[in-house]
A and B are shown apart, each in its own frame.
Chain A
């Protein structure tokens, strides 16, 4: 088990272009989270999946953002018509069960997006 894997690690795009990131969680982890982290700040929650169902979305997730988790395995996060304000590190995390049951979330190394 190699942990949570994110691809690509870095992405530079021009404003207005669409980008898609991929996250491969730890196998058998049924919960998957996306967070966004800007410079000097802690991660901010974007969205959450339990298996293939997207159960929660933050108000930070504007209509330009969409996330999917087909078949409850890997997940993709797409940003349409990127803006400079989208520049950030996008983190994926996965867990098996709830923290109340002792489960912890494992984070990937993130995808750093730069919009120029």
Chain B
């Protein structure tokens, strides 16, 4: 069975500051990892994904994430956030041969001026 833990339910940060949203997963097999963003009253939008290869993955809107197999983590980072980054961020995992994504409970990023 797979599970995803997002350690922070809310992360307040000032505009132009760096941010890291933490994600840990548990799985007995190799997995594919994803970060999605959900703006208010919107569907989920894919930010980035790790399938294989380089452990540093770059996504849209200046976000990046690093896959760490030994720590079973896939933390999301951005060096300088904008007000428009205020949203809910979900980490998700999918095992090979599985069809569905398993999501974490989400982290609300609140960017303050």
Contacts and interface: CB of A to CB of B under 8 A. Distances in A.
B106 A100 contact: no
B100 interface: yes
B103 A43 contact: yes
Contacts, number: 58
A45 B102 contact: yes
A99 B103 contact: no
A43 B45 contact: no
B83 interface: no
Interface residues of B, number: 25
Interface in A68-116: 91, 93, 99-100, 102, 104-110
Interface residues of A, number: 26
Contact of A109 (B41, B100, B101, B103): B41
B44 A43 contact: yes
Contacts of B99: 31, 33, 48, 55-56
B113 interface: no
Contact of B100 (A33, A41, A107): A33
A108 B45 CA distance: 9
A72 B51 CA distance: 27
B100 A42 contact: no
B74 interface: no
9 contacts: A33-B99, A41-B105, A45-B101, A91-B44, A100-B32, A102-B51, A107-B36, A109-B41, A109-B42
Interface of A: 4, 31, 33, 35, 40-45, 48, 55-56, 58, 91, 93, 99-100, 102, 104-110
